[in-house]
Amino acid sequence: MGSRIDPDKIKKDFPILKNKMNGKPLIYLDSAATSQKPKIVIDTITDYYENYNANIHRGIYKIAETATERYIESKRKLAGFIGAEKFEEIIYVRNTTEAINLVALTWGASNIKKGDRILISEMEHHSNIVPWQMLAKKKGAIIDYIKMDKNGEGLSDGSFLEQIEKEPKLLAITHVSNVLGSINDVKSMTKIAKKNGATVLVDGAQSVPHMPVNVNEIGCDFFALSGHKMLAPTGIGALYGKMDLLDSMEPLFGGGDMIKNVGFDSYTTNDLPWKFEAGTSNIEGGIALGAAVDYLEKIGMQKVREHEKELTVYALEKLNKIKGLKVFGYGKENIEKRGGVISFSLDKIHPHDVSAVFDSFGIAIRAGHHCAMPLVRGIFKVGALSRMSFYIYNNKRDVDVSIDAINSVKNIFKVK
């Protein structure tokens, strides 16, 4: 590929994008919810079932060995992709939510005590709020929030510094907001948090699919991600953890695969990463995640990021000209701090109505609280927002058609 990506060429790799929705070519602008899948990922799943479907780890026969090798190989690929040192640091789970809950239920269970503080932020997805609320309730711990800045665009540095001085046991922070696209400087935050004695978990659900990420450079202890947002199937995600921490943690589930030995009254746990993967894994999901990583690496994550920046600036310029439309989050002058997610409101028109008109144009966007009620309802004081989110298969035409859809909404609802 050349110096930038060609979304028209990439679109052809995604079978679903050849379809129509309501008689119009499908324009998919909901990748922050889940991404579409390229043919190579779909074919990888079929290939597994048609050619080497077998349970992993124990089979002493060819196809079981192939399945085991490919499953481990996918962990090596993912480890390399996110800058982890070893595949043993990659635990496969269902999704980001499960990865965060795993940390809360294992590391949290043994390390969080009564009166301890857990620091999160006002822009978190529910999956990085509720597990900590559940843990805090059980343990009598305290949850503190890093506040949004006065413009509601990103996190307040002052609030972060104020909170970190209270020496929380844990900082659990999103890398990129799924509502605003705002990018948090998790590397600096981690450095400061660690100086103050905190363990750090980063929610990478919205970063890993869209930009180069290196967990080693960030320096965090845990990092959570979902395969389905980065071209892989649903039901596969990962928790990265530092070896010494993972080693010190109790397994969450007991059963097959997570043990070395079992007697009538005792067991010994398996090596990493298997200690945390009890029972039969999502084998085809893991292998297909490896194929998704290959696909993204071939394009190059810096190019993915540049493409999304270009599309976002293009969209922001057009959206800013529409009367009555308010974009949430950083403006185009701060594009370095913003990913390809744009939430907006349009006069007093309900986002569900906006979404329905987009649907009639063949465009899929999301409307709602985006699983971030404290931010959307608590801080922005709105019931719901409309959200467009971009990925490698979106082009400027997709934005142009969206602008037509917005103008149509305004006509239908008779707003000037």
Contacts of 340 (CB under 8 A, 6+ apart): 181, 210, 308, 309, 311, 312, 389, 390, 391
Q: Which is nearer to ligand PMP, 44 or 206 (CB)?
A: 206
Q: Which is nearer to ligand PMP, 186 or 371 (CB)?
A: 371
Q: Which is nearer to ligand PMP, 116 or 124 (CB)?
A: 124
For residue 342, give the nearest of 324, 362, 352, 328 by alpha carbon: 328
CB of 315 to ligand PMP, least distance (A): 19
CB of 403 to ligand PMP, least distance (A): 25
**In the chain, what is the straight-line distance between the N-terminal and C-terminal CA atoms, in Å?**
44
The whole-angstrom separation of Cα 294 and Cα 203 is 22
Q: Which is nearer to ligand PMP, 125 or 242 (CB)?
A: 125
CA torsion, ordered 392, 397, 400, 406, to nearest 10 deg: -70
CB of 33 to ligand PMP, least distance (A): 6
Q: Which is nearer to ligand PMP, 288 or 349 (CB)?
A: 288
CB of 203 to ligand PMP, least distance (A): 5
The whole-angstrom separation of Cα 181 and Cα 336 is 11
Q: Which is nearer to ligand PMP, 70 or 175 (CB)?
A: 175
- Residue 253 tokens read as 């589930």
CB of 145 to ligand PMP, least distance (A): 16
The whole-angstrom separation of Cα 399 and Cα 319 is 10
Taking a C-beta distance cutoff of 8 angstroms, is the pair 367, 206 a contact? no
The whole-angstrom separation of Cα 415 and Cα 349 is 9
CB of 206 to ligand PMP, least distance (A): 5
Interface residues with ligand PMP (CB under 6 A) are 95-97, 125, 127-128, 174, 178, 203, 205-206, 226, 371
Q: Which helix (H) or strand (E) holds 406?
A: helix 396-412
The whole-angstrom separation of Cα 161 and Cα 190 is 12
The residues that are catalytic are 371
Taking a C-beta distance cutoff of 8 angstroms, is the pair 174, 124 a contact? yes
Taking a C-beta distance cutoff of 8 angstroms, is the pair 345, 351 a contact? yes
